[in-house]
């Protein structure tokens, strides 16, 4: 009976020692009863005593948390914030009110009164406007100046009025507006990504073109400093007649 107890105890000790090493690789021999551990990596890992204690302490701390007191702390903090906001000027209060209003509209997903109009302008409106600007830019540039590459044709004439008073590259601007409107109209996120890539490509190509135009036209730096590269701004739209340079260098 004593021998059987010793035998069982030995097996448990050896088994636990092997389990702490690699539980999936434990094997016993019938002769020496020594654990035979494989040399390959084990996919099973056991948490250390320190990690286990950390988990237990985290659970105990969570159980001791008084959520009622925590809510009261946040309520008191909110009251203090409201009091501090009341001491601010009208502009600060307006900013906070605008933030709340836009957050509410974002959750609702609807812009009151003008939502449908904005959706039309940003969708079909941009499609039509972009196409019109592209065609206008092509016509005003003329077949003699038209080239698919970034290198200006020989005898290139500098265009600065009409569509070229809104953007230095109105053909590219029209393409971008058309692509943006098409993406919104068709609710296509992938088209919107392609439009972004198209913007970077056209912006780079326009920069290459302008490097050559600066060498050909002495008036180009003044034009470049007055008219936006691709996207016209409000100042350009309102004051496009301020730039009175001729269409060419003559």
Q: What's the CA gap between 182 and 24, in Å, rounded?
A: 59
Length of the chain: 250
* Mean per-residue pLDDT over the chain, rounded: 79
Q: Which of 67-71, 151-155, 210-214 has the highest mean pLDDT?
A: 210-214
pTM of the model: 0.62
Q: What is the pLDDT of residue 104?
A: 93
pLDDT tens track for 188-235:
999 999 999 999 999 999 999 999 999 999 999 999 999 999 988 777
Using a pLDDT cut of 70, give the percent of the chain over it: 72
pLDDT at 37 exceeding the cut of 70 = no
Kindly provide the b/e burial profile for residues 54-74, where b requires at least 16 CB atoms within 10 angstroms of the residue's own CB: eeeeeeeeeeeeeeeeeeeee
């Amino acid at each position: 009976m004593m021998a059987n107890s010793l035998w069982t105890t030995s097996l448990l000790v050896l088994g636990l020692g092997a389990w702490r090493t690699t539980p999936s690789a434990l094997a016993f021999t019938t002769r020496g009863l020594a654990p035979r551990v494989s040399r390959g990596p084990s996919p099973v890992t056991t948490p250390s005593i320190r990690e286990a204690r950390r988990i237990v302490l985290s659970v105990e701390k969570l159980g001791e948390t008084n959520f009622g007191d925590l809510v009261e702390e946040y309520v008191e903090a909110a009251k203090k914030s409201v009091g501090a906001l009341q001491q601010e000027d009208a502009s600060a209060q307006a900013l906070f009110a605008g933030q709340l209003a836009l957050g509410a509209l974002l959750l609702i997903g609807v812009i009151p009164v003008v939502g449908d109009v904005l959706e039309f302008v940003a969708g079909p409106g941009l499609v039509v406007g972009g196409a019109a600007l592209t065609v206008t830019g092509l016509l005003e540039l003329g077949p003699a100046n038209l080239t698919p590459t970034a290198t200006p044709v020989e005898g290139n004439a500098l265009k600065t009025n009409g569509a070229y008073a809104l953007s230095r590259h109105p053909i590219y601007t029209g393409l971008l507006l058309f692509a943006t409107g098409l993406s919104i109209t068709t609710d296509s996120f992938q088209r919107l990504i392609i439009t972004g890539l198209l913007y970077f490509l056209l912006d780079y190509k326009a920069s290459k073109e302008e490097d050559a135009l600066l060498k050909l036209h002495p008036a180009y730096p003044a034009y470049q400093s007055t008219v936006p590269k691709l996207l016209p701004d409000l100042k350009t739209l309102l004051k496009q007649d301020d730039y009175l340079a001729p269409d060419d260098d003559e």
